[in-house]
Amino acid sequence: MLDPGRLNDRRTPLGELNWIFTAITDTIAWNVLPRDLFQKLFRQDLLVASLFRNFLLAERIMRSYNCTPVSSPRLPPTYMHAMWQAWDWRWTSASLSCPPSWRAPPFDPVNSSHSS
């Protein structure tokens, strides 16, 4: 079985995808946030930066399900930023190039163990 690699190693497929995700989310944040807030959230602390990068992605995904995530501090909407097209393209490209054994099985709502 092939190894997707490690997040922190750009020479691997997973590391390259993580590097692209970071570049895209940082670009989006740089474009929409005031400079001082961008510096505070995306440059001062690695953990905080990671949380806010993932928040931007969560907003993108959740908005497509009519959910509105909230952060503190409140951020302007980023889910329609043009840079997401680059992420969508790269994510699709990476997904299609993965061996079938790496892919998640299709979601089956009938046999899902989702609790209500």
Q: Give the mean pLDDT of 84-110.
A: 79
Confidence label for 112 from pLDDT (cuts 50, 70 and 90): low
**pTM given for the model:** 0.80
Cis peptide before 100 (omega within 30 of 0): no
pLDDT of residue 1: 44
Residues 59, 77 contacting (CB under 8 angstroms): yes
Higher pLDDT among residues 4 and 18, named by residue: 18
Domain boundaries, the chain: 13-95
pLDDT of residue 18: 92
Start-to-end CA distance of the chain, whole Å, equals 37
CA dist 44 and 20 (Å) reads: 20
